[in-house]
Amino acid sequence: MGVCVRLRGRASVVLSVATLTALTGCSGFLVPAGEGEEPDPAPSASAPHSGIVRAETLPATPAPGADAPAQPGPTSAPPGKCPASGAVVTMGEVLAVMMSRAVVLTLTNCGSKPYRVDGYPSVQALGEDGERLPVKVNPAGSQFGRDQGPEAIALKPGATVRSMLAWVSTQEGGELVMADALELAAAPDAGARVYPLEGHDLRYMDELNITAWRAELPE
């Protein structure tokens, strides 16, 4: 049976063929990249490091409105203090369907003024020392639903929009990156929060697909 090994300096994982087919190994749960979506999506922008707060000590909250069965996973609720951007992004529990994995991202207007949303969440994989890893993030759908594209929405204080973040694989495969956390933000310039991934198979990544912020989850 193959084994997963972290390569120092690259934070990547080399997998054998046997490991790629095992759910309890590294990448057996991954689904084809861009499944159910238009081809050739462009990578999404990553969030800046300024304004990052760690979320591992925050209380858990389930992913709202998700039909898929949930597994324990990295979750958090909005902190008591609203960031200067007026928007906070939280990550729900891990969803598992047909050997696939995804999480629901929720953007909440925690400020006192309307917050304009028109685009995609900013997602960046991080290594054990906080370094940014070369994990491609595609604005696209997955087995969990099609990406309907950006829509301009003015969120009133307390209102929310959601997005589906799915783990996918490419046809090439062969090598996965092992991430220790995800850095999430409402947009590239909106400040970010860090969500640890220790203890979950979500750490092993090929590519990620993300749907645009919408009032309703994709179908």
pLDDT in tens, 93-149: 999 887 789 999 999 999 999 999 999 999 999 999 999 999 999 999 999 999 999
Q: Quickly count helices (H) and strands (E) in the chain.
A: 1, 18
pLDDT in tens, 64-89: 344 444 444 444 434 457 888 899 99
Q: Would you tell me how many other CB atoms lie within 10 Å of the CB of residue 123?
A: 24
Entry pTM: 0.67
- Under 8 Å CB-to-CB from 128, ≥6 apart: which residues? 11, 180
Evaluate if residue 20 carries a pLDDT over 60: no
